[in-house]
Amino acid sequence: MHCVICLKFNINLIGTIFSFCRYTNLTGDILLSSGTVSYLGAFTVDYRVECQEQWHILCQEKEIPCSEDFTLSNTLGNQVTIRAWQIAGLPVDSFSTANGIIVFNSRRWPLMIDPQDQANKWIKNMEKANKLAVIKMSDGNYVRILENCIQFGTPVLLENVGEELDPVLEPVLLKQTFKQQGVEYMKIGENIVEYSKDFLFYMTTGLRNPHYLPEVAVKVCLLNFMITPQGLQDQLLGIVVAKEKPELEEKKNQLILESAANNKQLKEIEDKILQVLSSSEGNFLEDETGIEILSSSKILSEKISEKQKIASVTEKEIDDTRMGYRLVAEQSSILFFCISELANIEPMYQYSLTWFISLYLYSIANSVKSDDVEERINNIVEHFTLCIYNNVCRSLFEKDKLLFSLLLTVSIMQGKGQVDDQVWRFLLTGGIALDNPHPNPAPEWLSDKSWSEIVRATKLPNMEGFFEHVQDQISKWKKLYDSGMPHKDQLPDPWSQLMGMDRMVVIRCFRPDKLVPAIQDFIVDNMGQAYIEPPTFDLAGSYKDSNCCSPLIFVLSPGSDPTAGLLKFADDLEMGGSKTQTISLGQGQGPIAAQMIHKAIKEGTWVVLQNCHLASSWMPALERICEETITPENTHTNFRLWLTSYPSDKFPVSILQNGLKMTNEPPKGIRANLLRSYLSHPISDPAFFGSSKKQVIWQKFLFGLTFFHALVQERRNFGPLGWNIPYEFNESDLRISIRQIQMFLDEYDEVPLEALTYLTGECNYGGRVTDDKDRRLLLSLLSIFYNWELIEQEYFCIYSLFQTYVNYIRSLPICANPCVFGLHSNADITKDNQETTQLLDGVLLTLPRQMGSGAKSPQEVVDELAADMLSKLPADFDIKMVMDKYPVMYEESMNTVLRQEIIRFNRYSQCNMIHYSVWKRAAF
């Protein structure tokens, strides 16, 4: 009896204290929670936290009581429910938890921005027991399914929502119901259906950065469900531990389920106790049933609490062991967010989390095993990083491959705390261009732009006194400026100790044209040689990595045509002829293409859809076919869907993310171009390589032609110095020329040099050339490789082994000197400057607007620039003084013009002041 009295007293006391603290801060906490639910769903985690902190400060200033450690989960969250969400697949980080709370506390139906398919999986798992209906707007009967769910009160998930919503959904979004005879109804289109209070409506979109019009945004609760680093790290950690220590991960998952069940039971006990206490009438001590319930609940509660203590200790031990693999998850997470930013450069560069995790699993399975955990972790990380690089490079254009290598290198170094954000930003931008008070010490060779960057660079860490040293020792820095390889030379005096990014800053200031090779050296020093040598185009390797349900996508560039190579590859796999059907998409071709696909799925043949960018209106239908028709259970294992398309923002995101993307354009550089030629059909075929009857002459012509092919393509990079008109020479020119050489050498006793020169120079390559000076140049270049002296000389090294040529080509320098192209050594300055600008501008597109610690905020940057601009504006003209001095007279018409121009100038100056005020108020 004494125990019961004490229990009741303690419960009441604790409840009173808890209620007092909670109710004291309830006003502010609910205010902050309401603001978060209403306004912050669409924003990133950093912006949400920043807004909540500012609102919290505002509440304190207005003396509105609120919790010191306010969080949405503490105010509106139920820990038992949250744990159930996490078991259903909701990521465990606080950002995702807040998203879940917003979903179920908003008055509007949620529209979740879900490019990684996290929300989709969570909703499907959570509502699976409630007979969830999954629909898409592309479904023909989706309105009928929606009506049935509204009537019977079952949840609905609308997937793949675009930037516009079907008007038929408006009554659902606005919850426009009406009552007739006490029953609630809703009108959907022309139909009136009974409205159930149990109905739930979820919407998700796979778009990374959708732009919804205000009239759409106010009807839904926009939620940003993009995965956070913390959420992804937890997923990847669970995967690697499950593979490396399966018994540990199984035990961890079991503990999570047991803990959730225990917490749920404890919550039920607490609710039961409170119900008994609140419903008792009269003297509670005389209520035997109530006392018995309290006694049994207390015993059960103590048992569960004891279990929870034991489980907590065990879970901590498991977590400590799991943390040993944390490095794998952290670095792999960095890689994912690195590749996810590539879509800012090109809309075709989109990759799904499912694809990423499949590569992650592949690396765990195929990396070198080791009993030492630290060594094993390094093996996984190295294998996975290189695997990501090779797979992503396969789908990038040549101009973006070095950019991706740089992003990869810097992202990994940032994860290790080895990059200063100020230095990194300066390398990309050159700093903020304000007035430079220091005179240029050598204007005859050092540009004002370079000198301004040198002065600004002095403010960076490790660069103190830089511009003073340049002023005092200008002759030493002149040697660096004049050097042919400044990125390799030693810097003057104490600056020779600069390494890595600091050294690249100096190169940017003096010789920006050599920043690209400096970046290549930087990548080699930090990542290895493999990360500046992208893998060559390998159609067989791409096919091997594909499956019957994932489309293979050729992302086209001007002059590239993969069709011939694809048809040859089909013949090699005995899928040629009638087993491969091709169609060029355009007006009216969509239904024909759909019939081809449906037939090929059953028969196990190939379908090639060319020029998908020309059929943007049919792309939603293709997306529906890929999602609903091309499924494992319906598709023959030999079936493949090949797509070709120029970059287009209309191309379906889901196909891009789930397909295997490839680019097929000339590689960058003489070395890479030669290697591509020798590793591609037909030269890579051993039978073809050794088929000629005149092997010595054949090998000379073969190597000479491939070098000529690389030469004419690379000269395009030099602009008008290379060709007056840029021509799209391609692999078909090379292939036909090779086969002509083989045929003429075998059919004629003497080498028909004139005929070969005419066919290659005038027909195959020359057929594209329209300028007479370019034609003369083309023939002059060809004469270097097609001449009797080269044919007859004995000292020319000829190798019989194909691999010997490949090894020799690999030994060539990555960047060729302009002399190789027959140009002056300074010819590449303009070209290299353009490459540097293109590279840095591309990297800037992938970076967030926020600056790291110690750097200026965007607001401060704009304020500083605007103030500097305004300080340079002259004062307004005194209109009265001008009118007095130059009055309006019939004889002096220009006085009228002068007065009008002065008025316009003053107005322009006032507009600048207004713009400055707007910038000051702008939120970044």
Does 126 reside within a domain? yes
Q: Check pLDDT > 70 for residue 910.
A: no
Domain co-membership, 523 together with 608: no
Residue type, 93: D
Residue at a domain's end among 778, 813, 848: 813
CATH number at residue 771: 1.10.8.720
In a 13 Å sphere around the CA of 208, the CA atoms on its Cβ side amount to: 21
16 vs 357, more confident: 357
Look at residues 400, 879, 477 and name the one whose alpha carbon lies nearest to residue 661. 400
For residue range 534-578, list pLDDT tens digits in order: 888 888 888 998 989 999 999 988 767 788 889 888 998 999 888
pLDDT value for 2: 41
Mean pLDDT, range 390-399, rounded to an integer? 92
Number of domains the chain is built from: 6
- Check whether 691 has a pLDDT greater than 60: yes
Q: pLDDT per residue over 285-294, tens digit each? A: 556 666 666 6
SS3 547: coil
Q: Is the pLDDT of residue 821 over 60?
A: yes
111-155 per-position pLDDT tens digit? 999 988 889 999 999 999 999 999 988 787 889 999 999 999 999
Alpha helices in 604-679 (DSSP H): 619-624, 653-658, 670-679
Is 683 a domain residue?
yes
618 and 596 assigned to the same domain: yes
**What's the pLDDT band for 813 if we cut at 50, 70, 90?**
confident
pLDDT in tens, 711-751: 999 998 888 889 999 888 888 899 999 999 999 999 998 99
Are 143 and 201 in a shared domain?
yes
Pairing of strands 177-180, 183-188: antiparallel
Q: How many CA atoms lie within 13 A of 837 on its CB side?
A: 6
Model pLDDT, residue 431: 82
Residue 466 has pLDDT above 80, yes or no: yes
Same domain, 546 and 592: yes
pLDDT mean over 259-280: 69
Residue 314 pLDDT exceeds 80: no
Per-residue pLDDT at 682 exceeds 60: yes
For residue 57, is it left (φ>0), alpha (ψ between -120 and 50) or beta? alpha
Tokens of 633: 């259970």
Residue 922 has pLDDT above 60, yes or no: no
> What is the C-alpha separation between 460 and 448, in angstroms, rounded?
19
- Write down the pLDDT at residue 9: 35
What residues have CB less than 8 Å from 771, skipping those under 6 apart? 723, 724, 725
- 509 pLDDT above the threshold of 90: yes
- Determine what percent of the chain is predicted with pLDDT higher than 70: 87
Q: Could you give phi then psi for residue 35, rounded to 5 degrees? A: -60, -40
Is position 273 within any domain? yes
Q: Quick one: average pLDDT of 304-318? A: 69
pLDDT at res. 908: 77
Name which residue leads in pLDDT, 308 or 604: 604
Do 501 and 644 fall within a single domain? no
Kindly report the backbone phi and psi dihedral angles of residue 918, in degrees, each rounded to the nearest multiple of 5, phi listed first: -65, -45
Q: Is residue 580 part of a domain?
A: yes
Answer yes or no: do 388 and 440 share one domain: no
Residues 568 and 651 placed together within one structural domain of the fold? yes
Domain-located, residue 613? yes
Pick from 537, 544, 538, 609: nearest CA to 573: 544
Where is the domain boundary, 756, 779, 813? 813
pLDDT (0 to 100) of residue 862: 64
**120 and 263, same structural domain?**
no
What pLDDT does 384 receive? Answer: 95
Q: Write down the H helix ranges in 627-689.
A: 653-658, 670-679, 686-689
In a domain, 432, yes or no: yes
Same domain, 785 and 883: no
CB 864 within 8 A of CB 432: yes
* CB < 8 Å & 24+ apart, contacts of 524-528: 525/500, 526/409, 526/412, 526/413, 526/500, 527/385, 527/405, 527/408, 527/409, 527/412
Strands 133-136, 110-113: pairing kind? unpaired
Quick check: is 161 in a domain? yes
Looking up residue 165, the CATH number of its domain turns out to be 3.40.50.300
Model pLDDT, residue 1:
40
Task: State the sign of the Cα–Cα–Cα–Cα dihedral 786, 790, 792, 794.
Answer: negative
Is residue 168's pLDDT more than 70?
Answer: yes
Degrees, nearest 5: CA angle 341-334-385: 100
Q: Give domain status of residue 307, yes or no.
A: yes
Q: Which of 195, 227, 259 is the last residue of a domain?
A: 227
Residues 473 and 586 in one domain: no
Domain span at 897: 856-923
Domain identity same for 460 and 490: yes
| Omega within 30 of 0 (cis) for the link into 441 | no
One domain, residues 282 and 390: yes
| Statement: residue 284 has pLDDT above 60 | no
User: SS3 of 113, please?
Assistant: strand
Q: Is the pLDDT of residue 703 over 80?
A: yes
The Cα–Cα gap between 7 and 5 comes to 5
Asked whether the beta carbons of 775 and 797 are under 8 A apart, the reply is: no
